[in-house]
A and B are shown apart, each in its own frame.
Chain A
Amino acid sequence: MDLGERLLELTEKIKIGDFALMEEQKETENFDVVFVEGTPITPQNVARVKDLRERSKILVTIGACACLGGIAELKNYQDKEQRLRYVYKNFEGIANPDIKPVKFYVKVDLEIPGCPINKEEFFWAAKDLVAGVIPKIPQRPVCYECQLKRNECLLQKGEPCLGPSMLGGCGAPCPSSAYPCDGCRGPLKGMNLNNFNNKLKELYGFNQEEIDLIMQRFGELDDMYPPPPAKPENKIIKK
């Protein structure tokens, strides 16, 4: 929506099959491209994403919840039954699964990560998709854009910034606002988070609890393993 007129221009080249924020018509039977946001929690969510996968040629996940699990995944690192009972007196019928990104349920053709997503990145990705191309997001760390902006390095200043290990493309708004990168776009492909974790401890003197709190925030850790879902005890960074 924040693309404003540019979004409207884009909609002229496509037919909208379903977009509940803007229309209430019956959705089309099959889709060329489906954008999925959010993390599946209820059984209906899971069924819906599987159904959409079957009916679409290309499935794209957008945002940290869909790509990584997002903040809802924090409970994976906690006692999730206690969390449920804490929030609800009557918890019968309230779904409380381990939170997994969409790619654990279905094949995903493209991930547009971030919390929030970078609207410019979404725009060019959408344009490529309209042209029939699945774009690739360049594997550069957040530091790349951060340095181009000539920001003072937060890590060097002693703040726990995940920039060196995380996928850039966001334009580094966080370190530009003196806020250390907390990895909402997930780690770079092939990044060994365990090594990075140790560096944070040894070189920069952070303690494990501190690092855990940040790494858990967007559900960083399951990205290290290919689907099917990794068991929690396989997670390398333990509390």
Chain B
Amino acid sequence: MKIKIDHIAKIEGHAGFVADIADGNVVKARLDVFEGARLLEGILQGRSYNEVSQITSRICGVCPVVHNLTSLKALEAALGVIPSEQTILLRKLMMMGQILNSHALHLFFFSLSDFFGIKNDLELIKKYPGRAADSLLLRGFGNKIIEVIGGRSIHPLTPVVGGFKKAPDQEKLEEVLKDSGAALKAAVSLAKFFCSLKYPSFDRACNFVALGLPGEYAIYDGSVKIGKETESVSGFMPKIQEFQVKENPSAKRSEFQGKTYMVGSLARLNLNSKYLNAKAKAIFRDTNLILPLCNPFYNILAQAIELVQCVEESQQILEKTKDIDFESIQPPPIELKKGKGFGAIEAPRGTLFYYYEVGANGLIKNANIITPTAQNLARLEDDMVFYLPQLTRGGKALCKEECEDLIKMLVRAYDPCLTCATH
């Protein structure tokens, strides 16, 4: 039996899916990524350290903030620049905005319709106008955070190596804090709704990878947690084994120690749940689910919990940003020198890694970017090898359309971003 889906809608970018099943066993399962290669790491060579973060921001229109900031972190590591506490606070706040706007989009507009077999979001919006409004409100809230700090919501302008070009307007930050009450209400309502949905069953042991930091639900900073082990970002990133598959060479896949692994909301929830904020923790506790969750479909639920987490976190950060002025976030004078640096941040879809080697003239010599989807692709394909027999074998075998719908649902649950995967 052959399964071939030419085009999977409602994901970031273009991809199809193919699988060969012989005697009930999956011989191959592959997500075919149809994005053209922009050769990002290549074109950064010879470009200046002070512009590359603006260029890499353009890798993705959904998560430009995290590309921008991770790039800055790697450059700071390479140049030995240490940003101020206030700079880090504002960056953390921007990351909350980033995760909120991305999750709100994915949860309602990409994934929710799968639970009801609806093929068109306009129909979905008519059926769930309140949920649609909550999602749009949260997306707007996230965008506003980014815009107030970054100068605009897509491809922020103010973050630079070591700090910011301009300080956010305090009045506008206060406005965001005022808006956060409504945002929290919307997040709680959406999270409870997603917790009440029935998720397809599929359990499979998995290596989860996310940043970890004692006492914090790590997003902006941390070392890399690989299950129970921990490693520094600069220790872990070079050990990620990137490889290509012949049939679909432009999107790289990754493994760690010869095994696939998963990054993203589910990995974060599994590894860092004890550091969730009060409301997020309570909502998760009410699901009676037991960690670790090894069903990749629950990545959707984990994102919903993170909506609440991120609004709560934003409120806490906003309380601390009241005396931030330009002086406290102004970049320090930068001394150009040769250097290599790594950086990682939890993007909405999982850990994003950057590496730069900068020459003495401030121009980039080498660069590497490993995106969350580039890490999850191999795991997703691996999952399919085990999931498909469950759908096609035995007395419960599903018809072709049902089967394809569940395949698409699993792909969407991973929230892949193919423009990021290819970059």
Contact = CB atoms under 8 A, between A and B. Distances in A.
B248 to A, nearest CB: 9
B37 A88 contact: yes
B105 interface: yes
B136 A5 contact: yes
Nearest to A43: B36
Nearest to A11: B122
Given A71-B55, A78-B46, A217-B55, A41 B122 contact: no
A44 B41 contact: no
Given A21-B10, A116-B61, A179-B158, A213 B37 contact: no
A47 B224 CA distance: 43
B139 interface: yes
Contacts of A28: none
Nearest to A7: B136
Given A2-B143, A16-B122, A177 B152 contact: yes
Interface in A40-89: 40-42, 44-45, 70-72, 74-75, 78, 80, 82-84, 86-89
Given A2-B139, A89-B244, A71 B43 contact: yes
A91 B109 contact: no
Interface in A89-104: 89-96
A82 B158 CA distance: 32
Interface in B92-149: 105, 109-110, 119-122, 125, 136, 139-140, 143
A25 interface: yes
B42 A82 contact: yes
Given A75-B43, A94-B250, A213-B51, A116 B122 contact: no
Interface in A178-196: 178-179, 182
A39 B39 CA distance: 14
B151 A179 contact: yes
B39 A23 contact: no
Contacts of A34: none
Nearest to B245: A90
Looking at chain A, what size class is its interface with the partner chain?
35 or more
A116 B34 contact: no
A22 B166 contact: no
Given A88-B249, A173-B152, A75 B125 contact: no
Contacts of B155: 115-116
Contacts of B318: none
Contact of A74 (B43, B105, B139): B43
A72 B250 CA distance: 15
Contacts of A91: 249
Nearest to B156: A177
B51 A217 contact: yes
Interface string A163-178: 0000000000110111
B45 interface: yes
Contact of B36 (A1, A89, A90, A95): A95
A42 B46 CA distance: 25
B336 to A, nearest CB: 15
Contact of B37 (A74, A94, A173, A174): A94
Chain B contact residues, majority secondary structure: loop
Contacts of B34: 42, 44
Contact of A23 (B9, B46, B153, B244): B9
B395 to A, nearest CB: 29
Contacts of B40: 87
B156 to A, nearest CB: 8
A112 B222 CA distance: 41
A24 B37 contact: no
B320 interface: no
B39 A83 contact: yes
Contact of B58 (A44, A70, A96, A213): A70
Given A1-B105, A2-B153, A25-B119, A20 B37 contact: no
B158 A177 contact: yes
Interface in A115-134: 115-116
A197 B390 CA distance: 64
A82 B46 CA distance: 13
Interface string B25-52: 0000000001111111111011110010
A72 B42 CA distance: 10
Contacts of A228: none
A2 B138 CA distance: 11
Contacts of A88: 37, 244, 249-250
A21 to B, nearest CB: 6
A133 to B, nearest CB: 25
B228 interface: no
B58 A71 contact: yes
29 contacts: A1-B105, A1-B139, A4-B136, A20-B14, A21-B109, A22-B121, A23-B9, A23-B10, A23-B121, A24-B119, A24-B408, A41-B38, A45-B36, A71-B38, A72-B38, A83-B45, A84-B39, A87-B40, A94-B249, A94-B250, A115-B58, A173-B151, A173-B152, A177-B150, A177-B157, A177-B165, A179-B151, A182-B54, A213-B48
Interface of A: 1-2, 4-5, 8, 11, 16, 20-25, 39-42, 44-45, 70-72, 74-75, 78, 80, 82-84, 86-96, 115-116, 173-174, 176-179, 182, 213-214, 217
Given A72-B36, A87-B37, A115-B58, 10 more contacts: A23-B10, A24-B119, A25-B119, A25-B120, A84-B37, A91-B249, A94-B250, A177-B151, A177-B152, A217-B54
